[in-house]
Amino acid sequence: MIALFMFVVVLALLMVGIPVAFVFGTVAIAFAFLIPELGFDVFSVLPFRIYGIMSNTTLMAVPMFITMGLVLEKSKMAEKLLVSMSSLFRDVRGGLAVSVVLVGAMLAASTGIVSASVVMMSVIALPLMIKAGYDKGLASGTVAASGTLGQIIPPSIILIILGDVMSVSVGDLFVAAVLPGLLLVGLYISYILIRSYFSPEIAPIPKNIKSVSVKEAIVSIVPPLLLMVSVLGSIFAGVASPTESAAFGVIGALVLSGLNRSLNFEMLKYASLESVKLTGMIFMILIGATAFSLVFNELGGSDLILEFFSQDIGDVWVFIAVAMISIFILGFFIDFIEISFIIVPILVPVMEAFGIDPIWFAVLIALNLQASFLTPPFGLSLFFLKGAAGDTIKTIDIYKGIVPFILLQLLGLGLVILFPDLVFAFI
């Protein structure tokens, strides 16, 4: 019971807004100090665990993929890509929203960073859609949902983290997530086209989109596609590890930004500093979570959870349902990093006891965590969108707009649960 109380304390502190890295470490130290049978000896192996984290070659891919995404964010390629896509779909009702989804998918496969994708499209695409007469809810929902595709479409940061936490191959996770990611893209586009057909007033055919020549479209679309194919293709073909491909991706992004004449010292400084900040945050959380797990497991928390699911419940599908519902609900209040480091390690032993395939389960978790970016009140994509859009759009319009896309994400999750072959098709 003490372990469960410890878990509740952590969730409560996270919900009041205390930084997650400090919550993990502080709660672990407090419980070790207050419980005599534990003491600080429980942390004797912590330095070795931290050394293992810092020398983990898989996690080295995280800062490099972040850097690649930030370089592409500042290179103006996304802006040219969106203009070209919008021109190609300008005669289709709902085509502007469809182009936003496709650009979001391409940015996801090129960067893997949700914040960069949402902010870029909020600044570039949202004013374009509103000026064209699009419903503000549909416009904001499309931008926010398209930006979150970076959670599931490789190279996704969350897939790298889940691969490490669940001890599975990141390369296999990348391959497994391709079809589920494309499934979501298909669901988004189908929803937009169907709704635009039955309610044409919410997505009029724009008259303010300038025509782009075939040459301009090719120049805008092909370079990001080549980078995406080279980075992911090298992983899928087994030519390079995710870490090696991430390093290649950084070089490719720098080359493309150079060709785009946007490579300069200020951009490199921005990308480097932001990469250090984001990577430092992730690794501080990971260290704090390691300290928390040492105390939690010493108090018998993992054994208690395993006993509850394997004996009190005893059914694999009930476990999957409870796990997915729990992650979805927690996503309303805490973000994907906390869930990955708090909840997932607790579920892994139960998953192994039931004989569930870890790759399939990891993809389910990644799909579920994608919804956490959209669910109010703490959906990060909503904050990024509102911050970038300013007074252009009201918060209530954003909330109305994202509801259908959350339901589409849950539909996608349900389809992957019912049809596991979607995960294993290319493995």
In this prediction, residue 209 has a pLDDT band, given cuts at 50, 70 and 90, of low
Both tokens of 255, joined, read 């080359």
pLDDT (0 to 100) of residue 131: 82
| Span 306-330, pLDDT tens digits | 666 666 666 888 889 989 998 888 8
pLDDT (0 to 100) of residue 225: 79
pLDDT (0 to 100) of residue 378: 65
Give the pLDDT mean for 400-422. 93
Least confident of 126-130, 271-275, 331-335: 331-335
Question: Distance between CA atoms of 350 and 122, rounded to whole angstroms?
Answer: 41
Note whether 150 and 373 are within 8 A (CB): no
In this prediction, residue 118 has a pLDDT band, given cuts at 50, 70 and 90, of confident
Rounded to whole angstroms, the maximal C-alpha distance in the chain is 74
Task: List, as one string, the DSSP characters of 102-147.
Answer: HHHHHHHHHT--HHHHHHHHHHHHHHHHHHTT--HHHHHHHHHHHH
Which of 225, 231, 252 has its CA nearest to residue 243? 231
Q: Is 146 a residue whose pLDDT tops 80?
A: yes
Question: What is the CA 226 to chain-centroid distance, rounded?
Answer: 22
Question: Distance between CA atoms of 350 and 128, rounded to whole angstroms?
Answer: 48
Note whether 33 and 40 are within 8 A (CB): yes
Number of C-beta neighbours around residue 179 at 10 A:
18
Question: Distance between CA atoms of 361 and 254, rounded to whole angstroms?
Answer: 35
| C-alpha gyration radius of the chain | 22
Both tokens of 395, joined, read 């918060």
Task: List, as one string, the DSSP characters of 342-409.
Answer: HHHHHHHHHHHHHT--HHHHHHHHHHHHHHTTTSSSS-HHHHHHHHHHGGGS-HHHHHHHHHHHHHHH
Q: Is 198 a residue whose pLDDT tops 80?
A: yes
In this prediction, residue 89 has a pLDDT band, given cuts at 50, 70 and 90, of confident
Is the four-CA dihedral 155, 46, 7, 304 of positive or negative sign?
Answer: positive
* Share above pLDDT 70 across residues of the chain, in percent, rounded to a whole number: 91
| Span 149-193, pLDDT tens digits | 888 888 888 898 899 889 898 889 999 999 999 999 999 999 999
- 364 Cβ contact partners less than 8 Å away, ≥ 6 residues apart: 320, 324, 413, 416, 417
Question: Distance between CA atoms of 390 and 397, rounded to whole angstroms?
Answer: 13
pLDDT (0 to 100) of residue 360: 96
Q: Is 373 a residue whose pLDDT tops 90?
A: no
Q: Which residue has the higher pLDDT, 333 or 336?
A: 336
Task: Give the start-to-end residue ranges of the domains of the chain.
Answer: 1-423
Q: Which residue has the higher pLDDT, 262 or 418?
A: 418
Which of 91, 90, 128, 106 has its CA nearest to residue 220? 106
pLDDT (0 to 100) of residue 364: 95
| Span 1-60, pLDDT tens digits | 677 788 788 778 876 767 767 887 888 888 888 887 777 777 888 888 777 777 777 677
Question: Average pLDDT, whole number, for the chain?
Answer: 82
Both tokens of 123, joined, read 């600044």
pLDDT (0 to 100) of residue 414: 95
Angle at Cα 173 formed by Cα 314 and Cα 148, nearest 5°? 95
